[in-house]
Structure 1
Amino acid sequence: MRGIILAFLGGAFITLQGVANARISQNIGTWQAAALTQFTGFVAAFLILMFVREKNWQGFKQVKPLYLAGGAFAAVIIFSNVTSIQHVGVTLTVSLVMISQLCITFLIDSKGWFGLVKQNMRLPQFIGIAMMIAGVVILKF
């Protein structure tokens, strides 16, 4: 249950962040908004880290360099979302982001990328993705 609640919370904050960043970027620019968001996210995460008991810094040596680039991915995410929101609106942007996430996670699961256990994808998973794409097409028109 905790995972479901956190997933909904994460989705809500992704949407709120996208809208806030789109508004910020109108005043200062998209890459500036991305940099500001990354900085405030770092400050918030660092402050939370100082108050929680999980302070395992030794684990950094075991993390593959590719995975350490996750923060850089966020800059592209912010830029893409802000620009998309400005062009097609929040609802369509979030819908397309969700479809993209599902398609990429489908590939990651089915191929076992990033050291994950391969998952067998069957017809219901294909139908689910097709239904989401159909929903976005209906939403757009």
Structure 2
Amino acid sequence: MFRGIVFAFLGGACITLQGVANSRISHDIGTWQAATVTQLTGFIMALVIYLFVRDGDLGGFRKVKPLYLAGGAFGSVIIFSEVTAIQTIGVTFTISALLIAQLLVTFLIDRFGWFGTAKSKMGAPQFIGLAMMIGGVLIMKL
């Protein structure tokens, strides 16, 4: 569990750092160019790590539904949206809104069992927590 928490924090920090870096790149060369550079460097980094770690089976691609293989394409939309938002509303509000959107979508995925996940009931504590996050973001923005 501790390892999962560490990686979640690492991922969250990298999302923020990437958003700020992409915003700077976008300012200099353009938003879609920033998305292209980010996706390319991300691919190169992942490939280099894979070549050293080799922890999977490339033959497994045949087992994955084609829709799921397109998941990386969301990255370009994420980058464009995040860069545009950072330039419009700032880093803190962008990341806060991004986290709230992630929670809302994960609630829907869990509630309806999308993408083959087990259905989960969402009760008052989950909705209260989400409302508190939204309230916190609104207070922070004011």
Counterpart in the other structure of 2:22: 21
C-alpha displacement of 1:62: 0.7
C-alpha displacement of 1:115: 0.3
Following the alignment from structure 2 to structure 1, what is the Cα–Cα distance between the partners of residues 125 and 64?
34
Structure 1 residues 104 and 56: CA distance shift in structure 2, 3 A: same
Following the alignment from structure 2 to structure 1, what is the Cα–Cα distance between the partners of residues 111 and 13?
27
2:122 aligned partner, one-letter code: M
Q: Which deviates further from its counterpart, 78-87 or 63-72?
A: 63-72
C-alpha displacement of 1:120: 1.0
Q: How does 1:1-141 map to 2 (within 5 A)?
A: 1-141=2-142
C-alpha displacement of 1:104: 0.2
Identical aligned residues as a percent? 65
Following the alignment from structure 1 to structure 2, what is the Cα–Cα distance between the partners of residues 16 and 68?
26
Q: Which deviates further from its counterpart, 68-77 or 52-61?
A: 52-61
Q: Which runs of 5+ in 2 are unaligned?
A: none
Following the alignment from structure 1 to structure 2, what is the Cα–Cα distance between the partners of residues 53 and 67?
21
1:54 aligns to what SS in structure 2?
coil
C-alpha displacement of 1:55: 3.9
2:78 aligned partner, one-letter code: I
Following the alignment from structure 2 to structure 1, what is the Cα–Cα distance between the partners of residues 111 and 120?
5
C-alpha displacement of 1:78: 0.2
C-alpha displacement of 1:9: 0.2
C-alpha displacement of 1:101: 0.2
TM-score by length of 1: 0.98
- 1:86-119 per-position Cα deviation (integer Å, ceiling 9, x unaligned): 0000000000000000000000001111000011
Give the root-mean-square deviation of aligned CA atoms. Answer: 0.6
- 1:50-78 per-position Cα deviation (integer Å, ceiling 9, x unaligned): 00131411110011111111111000000
Following the alignment from structure 2 to structure 1, what is the Cα–Cα distance between the partners of residues 107 and 86?
25
Moved over 3 A (4+): none
Following the alignment from structure 1 to structure 2, what is the Cα–Cα distance between the partners of residues 54 and 36?
26
